[in-house]
């Protein structure tokens, strides 16, 4: 005969107690309470016993939950590292078997990742080098500014100034710790049949000190070698010119070079990858005062105060606002070159950080570079969606396998863990292939764009690869688990 | 494990097991505590306390086979371990020392 409702303990309270009690002790606790309930019922009647039962359950919830929490924490500790490692190794081996069983799928995903990430990393590397990275070998480039003239309303378009202005700013302006000037020129090398043209930069004596560059060989230009009206015939050569012209021999220091109408002595070699503050990459650096007839401005280059031909760079003194330094520079420039158009009333100087000026100077190539970067990101997204589609299709095909595993008692957490391991294996394979692609393609693209002025450091650094690799990995982690567990079959499926 | 690590309910539980000899179950322990102290221990508190004492190695649980009768089921019998006997002895000894000389209501 079925017992009446009053003969059994309150069902909700009983269910609640069963739900919170750890499985190992569930039957004991419930049996014990039921025994007591029967005793209470006989002694005090049904209603009182039911009320007593509910109170017992209510009072028991907190200690049982506390006990359960303690047991759970301890059991987690009990799972030894060895067991965890074994589980991961098993998942790893299973994932590799799965990937080996579907070579076409695996190859397609890996190739997609390799091209997607690899080309993306390559393109971002180029964008990084052209727009983001500071010039190689330059110490604290964010402290270096270039002086531009103009006005806030019309823009600061005048990037070149003149020598008297440079001298005044160097000697009298208070906001800068070091000041130097440069002018890019073409330099005739040798005469007769052997004559060629080099790209050169005229620099004032403090130029290399201002940048904080150390010579690869020899030394840079001394202050006593750059004196008006005619400085010493010494020259610093680039690493590229040293390799091409002197085959990297130490004997290059002290060698003679016929540059224009004078014979110059090589006193130093600049470090590899040093390209000045832009991508000019000159072959030689000559003291400003030593160029003789090579001066664009002619004989009175040092005194001519109306024309504009040289760029002025300066290192900011600490805690001096650039605006104040620029205003002070304009004050001394007006004294030194009162007739120049850039010192007229209404004109101002802008102390622009070289990193900003460098990016601005890229002009059209900057826009093209940015566009290429955006396009490579789009390509990466397309690659991601291709991989997502492939994984979705594979997930649908594996529904039967998942159903069997669930029927055998595999937990959902374990299945998800398995999916994650498979994702990691797949993305790692893709990442390694991408690294190879990025290294090879990066070297080719850099050689095509930068030629032999490319930096000596790694083509793809961790920063670049991290950016390119992060988004597909996340995307893939999201995608791999989804299709399989989108509609996890029940065990009776 | 020292006697100082025991809580009040744990001490009561050990004393109840001692009183019940070899025939202690969860229900009989709680009944014994209620009978002697008037304190009604909930099934959850009793279960959690027994669990803690077992974890500390002071008690052990022996599963008694189900009796061959209708509704007969396996029961868990609670027994002392050697450490449990020692710790209970130390606790009672400490308690006696603390109680020695106390005349309630004298202050």
pLDDT digit string (tens) for A327-347?
999 999 999 988 888 998 889
The answer to whether residue A3 scores a pLDDT higher than 60 is no
Mean pLDDT to the nearest integer, A260-264 = 89
Q: Which residues of A touch B43 (CB under 8 A)?
A: 29, 32-33, 36, 56, 60
Q: How far apart are CA A308 and CA A165, in angstroms?
A: 10
Q: Which residues of A touch B48 (CB under 8 A)?
A: 63-64, 66-67
Q: Identify the H or E element spanning A313.
A: strand A311-316
Q: CA-based Rg of chain A, rounded to a whole angstrom? A: 38
Q: Which residues of A touch B73 (CB under 8 A)?
A: 31
Q: How far is CA B61 from the centre of its chain?
A: 12
So what's the pLDDT on residue A329?
A: 93
Runs of H (alpha helix) within A173-312: 207-211, 239-246
pLDDT tens for A185-241 read 888 898 888 888 899 999 999 999 999 999 999 999 999 999 888 889 999 999 989
Q: How far apart are CA A112 and CA A380, in angstroms?
A: 9
**pLDDT band at A455, cuts 50/70/90?**
low
How far does the CA of residue B39 sit from the closest CA of chain A (Å)?
13
Runs of H (alpha helix) within A79-206: 81-101, 103-127, 163-172
So what's the pLDDT on residue A482?
A: 41
Residue B41 touches chain A, beta carbons under 8 Å: no
> Going by DSSP bridges, is the β-strand pair A234-237/A196-203 parallel, antiparallel, or unpaired?
unpaired
Q: How far apart are CA A376 and CA A204, in angstroms?
A: 42
Average pLDDT, chain A: 82
So what's the pLDDT on residue A330?
A: 94
Q: Say if CB A114 and CB A434 are below 8 A apart.
A: yes
Cβ–Cβ of A60/B73 closer than 8 Å? no
> Which three-class secondary structure state does DSSP give residue A247?
coil
Cβ–Cβ of B43/A61 closer than 8 Å? no
pLDDT tens for B19-53 read 998 678 898 999 999 999 999 999 999 999 999 99
pLDDT tens for A93-140 read 888 888 888 888 889 988 888 888 888 888 777 777 767 777 888 899
Q: Which residues of A touch B49 (CB under 8 A)?
A: 63
How far does the CA of residue A71 sit from the closest CA of chain B (Å)?
10
Integer CA distances (angstroms), A325 to A174, A250, A335, A453, B69, in order: 7, 42, 16, 34, 102
Percent over 90 (pLDDT), chain A: 31
Cβ–Cβ of A36/B43 closer than 8 Å? yes
Count of other CB atoms within 10 angstroms of residue A220: 22
Q: How far is CA A228 from the centre of its chain?
A: 46
The answer to whether residue A484 scores a pLDDT higher than 70 is no
User: Which residue does chain B place closest to A54, by CA atoms?
Assistant: B42
Answer yes or no: is the ipTM higher than 0.90: no
So what's the pLDDT on residue A403?
A: 84
pTM of the model: 0.52
So what's the pLDDT on residue A15?
A: 92
Q: Check residue B60 and report its DSSP letter.
A: E
Count of other CB atoms within 10 angstroms of residue A93: 11
Integer CA distances (angstroms), A334 to A153, A172, A331, A344, A350, in order: 20, 12, 5, 8, 15
Runs of H (alpha helix) within A173-227: 207-211
Q: Say if CB A60 and CB A17 are below 8 A apart.
A: yes
pLDDT tens for B48-63 read 999 999 988 999 988 8
> Going by DSSP bridges, is the β-strand pair A196-203/A176-189 parallel, antiparallel, or unpaired?
antiparallel
Q: Say if CB A442 and CB A454 are below 8 A apart.
A: no
pLDDT tens for A458-468 read 555 665 556 55
So what's the pLDDT on residue A166?
A: 94
The answer to whether residue A272 scores a pLDDT higher than 50 is yes
A:B CB pairs within 8 Å: 48
Residues of A near B (Cβ–Cβ under 8 Å) read: 21, 25, 28-29, 31-33, 35-36, 56, 59-64, 66-67, 71
Q: Where are the beta strands (DSSP E) in A121-190?
A: 144-151, 155-158, 176-189
How far does the CA of residue A87 sit from the closest CA of chain B (Å)?
28
């Amino acid at each position: 005969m079925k017992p009446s409702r009053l003969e059994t303990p309150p069902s909700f309270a009983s269910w609640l107690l069963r739900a919170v009690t750890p499985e190992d002790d569930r039957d004991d606790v419930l049996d014990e309470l039921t025994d007591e309930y029967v005793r209470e019922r006989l002694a005090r009647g049904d209603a009182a016993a039911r009320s007593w039962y509910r109170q017992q359950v209510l009072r028991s919830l907190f200690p049982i939950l506390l006990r359960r929490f303690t047991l759970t924490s301890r059991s987690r500790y009990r799972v030894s590292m060895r067991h965890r490692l074994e589980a991961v190794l098993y998942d790893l081996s299973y994932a590799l078997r799965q990937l080996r069983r579907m070579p076409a799928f695996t190859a397609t995903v890996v190739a997609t990742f390799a091209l997607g990430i690899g080309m993306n990393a390559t393109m971002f590397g180029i964008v990084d080098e052209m727009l983001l990275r500071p010039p190689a070998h330059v110490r604290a480039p964010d402290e270096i500014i270039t002086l531009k003239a103009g006005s806030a309303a019309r823009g600061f378009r005048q990037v070149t100034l003149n020598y008297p202005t440079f001298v005044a700013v160097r000697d009298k302006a208070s906001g800068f710790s070091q000041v130097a000037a440069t002018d890019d020129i073409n330099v005739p090398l040798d005469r007769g049949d052997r004559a060629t043209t080099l790209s050169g930069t005229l620099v004032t004596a403090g130029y290399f000190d201002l940048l904080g560059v150390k010579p690869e060989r020899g030394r840079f230009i001394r202050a006593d070698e750059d004196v008006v009206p005619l400085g010493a015939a010494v020259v610093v050569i680039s690493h590229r010119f040293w390799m091409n012209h002197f085959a990297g021999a130490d004997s290059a220091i002290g060698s003679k070079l016929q540059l224009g109408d004078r014979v110059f002595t090589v006193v130093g070699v600049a470090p590899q990858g040093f390209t000045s503050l832009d991508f000019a990459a000159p072959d030689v650096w000559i003291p400003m005062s030593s160029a003789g007839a090579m001066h664009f401005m002619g004989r009175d280059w040092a005194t001519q105060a109306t024309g504009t031909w040289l760029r002025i760079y300066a290192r900011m003194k600490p805690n001096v606002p650039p605006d104040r330094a620029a205003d002070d520079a304009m004050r001394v420039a007006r004294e030194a070159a009162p007739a120049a158009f850039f010192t007229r009333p209404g004109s101002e100087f802008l102390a622009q950080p070289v990193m900003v000026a460098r990016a601005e100077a890229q002009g059209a190539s900057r826009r093209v570079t940015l566009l290429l970067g955006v396009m490579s990101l789009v390509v990466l997204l397309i690659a991601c969606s291709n991989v997502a589609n492939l994984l979705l299709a594979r997930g649908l095909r594996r529904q039967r396998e998942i159903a069997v595993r669930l029927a055998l008692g595999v937990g959902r957490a374990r299945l998800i863990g398995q999916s994650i391991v498979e994702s990691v294996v797949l993305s790692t394979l893709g990442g390694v292939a991408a690294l190879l692609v990025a290294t090879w393609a990066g070297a080719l693209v850099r050689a095509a764009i930068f030629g032999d002025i490319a930096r000596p450091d790694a083509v793809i650094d961790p920063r670049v690869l991290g950016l390119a690799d992060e988004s597909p990995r996340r995307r893939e982690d999201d995608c791999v688990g989804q299709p399989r567990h989108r509609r996890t079959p029940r065990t009776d499926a | 494990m020292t006697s100082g690590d025991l809580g009040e309910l744990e001490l009561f539980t050990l004393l109840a097991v001692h009183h019940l000899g070899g025939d202690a179950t969860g229900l009989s322990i709680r009944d014994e505590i209620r009978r002697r102290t008037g304190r009604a221990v909930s099934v959850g508190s009793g279960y959690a306390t027994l669990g803690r004492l077992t974890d500390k190695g002071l008690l052990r649980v022996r599963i008694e086979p189900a009796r061959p009768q209708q509704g007969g089921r396996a029961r868990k019998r609670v027994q002392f371990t050697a450490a449990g006997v020692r710790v209970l002895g130390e606790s009672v000894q400490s308690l006696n020392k603390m109680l020695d000389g106390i005349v309630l209501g004298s202050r």
